[in-house]
């Protein structure tokens, strides 16, 4: 089984760093998946000026442990990110620093194409637009819950999605075509 794993806000809490860089209050919640919503018009230029958001992001709770367990079960992990190419080394170092399981790192914005080209079986993603494009292309997607998406799954839903059994059941449900059997409640 091959799984594609998005990075920003799927396994890396980049939004917390963006919030800090923009001086937004700690309790601020990104309700929209948009940098414009927080006053950033030139997204590409902004990230170039703020590489620290990729360097300093903490892993989301449970992400490393869950991927480690999946890898230990023989699941092949592919990290697929639309981060800019200049952030490749930073990203590689970050995955290593936090002991994420080994996996190829693909810098590519068109995740549906990557899904198809690599013959992936499942994709972990948070961005509503990406989830939609992936699903439109026939991909099976596990949406990592964020305030701006439908929120089906969290790595750290202990006893629901964060434990290995929950994750595997979820993946198995997606793969067998009956995700409703194991879909976790929207929060």
Chain contacts with Mg ion (rule: CB under 5 A): 6, 8-10, 126-127
If the CB atoms of residues 110 and 169 are measured against Mg ion, the closer one turns out to be: 110
Question: With respect to Mg ion, which residue has the nearer C-beta, 124 or 157?
Answer: 124
Give the phi and the psi of residue 6 in degrees, each rounded to 5: -70, 160
Burial 42-73 (b: 16+ CB within 10 A, else e): eeeebbeebeebbebbebbebbbbbbebbbee
Q: Where are the alpha helices (DSSP H) in 7-106?
A: 14-22, 43-49, 52-56, 63-72, 88-97
User: In 3D, which of 118, 100, 107, 110 has the Cα closest to residue 2?
Assistant: 118
Whichever of 18 and 127 has its CB closer to Mg ion, that residue is 127
CA 46, chain centre distance (Å): 21
Q: Among residues 10 and 91, whose Cβ is nearest to Mg ion? A: 10
Query: Smallest distance, Å, CB 10 to Mg ion?
Result: 5
Residue of minimal Cβ distance to Mg ion:
8
Residue 133 CB, nearest approach to Mg ion (Å):
13
**Between 112 and 169, CB nearer to Mg ion:** 112
Contacts of 157 (CB under 8 A, 6+ apart): 166, 184
Question: Min. distance of Cβ 12 from Mg ion in angstroms?
Answer: 8
Coil, strand, or helix at residue 79?
A: strand
């Amino acid at each position: 089984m091959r799984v594609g794993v998005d990075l920003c806000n799927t396994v890396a809490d980049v939004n917390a760093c963006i919030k800090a860089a923009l001086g937004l209050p700690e309790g601020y919640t990104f309700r929209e998946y948009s940098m414009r919503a927080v006053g950033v018009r030139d997204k590409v230029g902004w990230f170039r000026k703020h590489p620290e958001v990729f360097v300093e992001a903490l892993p989301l709770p449970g992400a490393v442990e869950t991927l480690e367990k999946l890898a230990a079960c023989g699941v092949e992990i592919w990290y697929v990110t639309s981060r800019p190419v200049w952030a490749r080394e930073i990203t590689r170092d970050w995955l290593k620093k936090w002991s994420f399981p080994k996996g190829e790192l693909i810098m590519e914005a068109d995740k549906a194409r990557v899904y198809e080209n690599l013959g992936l079986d499942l994709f972990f993603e948070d961005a509503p637009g990406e989830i939609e494009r992936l699903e439109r292309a026939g991909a099976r997607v596990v949406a990592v819950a964020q305030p701006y998406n439908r929120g089906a799954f969290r790595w750290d839903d202990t006893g629901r999605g964060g434990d290995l059994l929950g994750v595997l059941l979820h993946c198995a449900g997606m793969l067998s075509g009956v995700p409703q059997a194991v879909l976790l409640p929207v929060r």
